[in-house]
Amino acid sequence: MRRRTFLTTSALALCGVSLRGTGTEPLALRTLAGPGRHRHAVSFAPVHVSFDRVVRTTVGLRPHRDSGFVLRADQYDQKTVIHNYGHGGAGMSLAWGTGAIAADMALKHKERRAAVLGCGSPGLTAARQLQRRGFAVTIYAKTVPPDTTSNMSLAAFTPTSGLVDASRRTPAWDRQFRKAVEVSYKQLQQLAGRDYGVYWIDQFTATDDPDPPADQSDDSGLIADILRPSRTREILGADEHPFPTRYAIRTPSLSIEPKIYLDRLVTDFRKAGGRIVIRAFDAPQDLMSLPEKLIINCTGLGSATLFNDEELVPVKGQLSVLLPQPEVRYRVSARIADADGLTTSVSMNPRSDGIVIGNLQERGSWSLDPSEDVRDRNITAAMQFFGAMRVARPI
């Protein structure tokens, strides 16, 4: 049954601490976030969250491998297949870079016609990187935007998100990753602006503890400081933000609006002479009928059956989209515990198509059916969090 009313504030805790902000801060934080420090202005427009504002709930399955993405070439009879899949939750972040590596591998082949399998972010960016290197490219895919997994993502530059188990990393994989992240970051910066739906926005983490555990770094030692999403980490005290927590950590977020972004990539691909063919493949033998001898495999979870990759596992994500609020120009995340002791992530991302609420990391689920329980828990937690926001002046 839906819970349409707010839980009591006293029943909530954030990271095990009170939701109510305080005016006391350690001296070091007062020095960092004090009144003498220059701030760029942020207007904290209120976010209106209720069940009757939900317009849709979507589900996407991230293609995760504990050992990270695959970038390698295999031979199948007369076909050369270059694999580029298994990006987990980092597909939108890394695709330009892994696509560039795959395209450079393709240059070693004498053919200049290529087939790309898949039309999500990895497939489209690999196709564009091939075109930039002089290839004639056809994309073969079962689904195209707006019906790809990439369309269901939160979509920001989070290159290590759900990507790899640290114990499974190798020096060779690390080198591929570092090259991929550098290429992708540069490309996404160049696309920032209205046309591609790539933009900078303030991300706030509302918390009572501004110091994350040392073993939970967002880059796992993989990323140079200049490329870390949290490289500029500004801690705001309770009197400098409106959230019902002691602190808010502000970082710049390079974000992507999937529909605008993917539609534009499709347009660019076609303008450069690319073709898209709707087709599914069930086994490597099915590839033998393709006219192209060079194939880039960007099928994501499809590689589990198509290429018998037993390491691939789905990680289910679920988002609810509320009616748009153009005045909301910040992102925020927090973790709260309700009266039943359940900890829920509150995540809010404003886009032109609506306010996106919630997230989910359910490993091993192949279901594309939205969970009503997850939706209700996410919306209820967001209702409480934003209902407890204080009225604040812009900072």
Q: Are strands 247-256 and 234-236 parallel, antiparallel or unpaired?
A: antiparallel
Burial tier of 164 (Cβ tally within 10 Å: 0-12, 13-18, 19+): buried
Average pLDDT for 60-82: 96
Q: What is the percent of the chain where pLDDT is above 90?
A: 74
pLDDT at 35: 40
At 13-28, the pLDDT tens digits run: 444 333 444 333 332 3
Residue 7 confidence class, pLDDT cut points 50, 70, 90: very low
Beta bridge partner(s), residue 363: 315
Residue range 39-43: mean pLDDT, rounded: 69
Asked if residue 218 has pLDDT above 80, the reply is no
* Residue-range domains of the chain with CATH: 9-62+223-254+316-387 (no CATH), 66-194+257-302 (3.40.50.720)
Q: What is the 3-state secondary structure (H, E, C) of 243-308?
A: CCCCEEEEEEEEEECHHHHHHHHHHHHHHCCCEEEECCCCCHHHHHHCCCCEEEECCHHHHHHHCC
Which band of pLDDT confidence, cut at 50, 70 and 90, is reported for residue 391? Answer: confident
* Helix residue ranges, H only, the chain: 27-33, 91-106, 121-132, 171-191, 258-271, 303-306, 372-387
Residue 338, pLDDT score: 67
The predicted model scores a pTM of 0.87
- Which pLDDT belongs to residue 219? 56
Across the chain, what does the average pLDDT equal?
A: 86
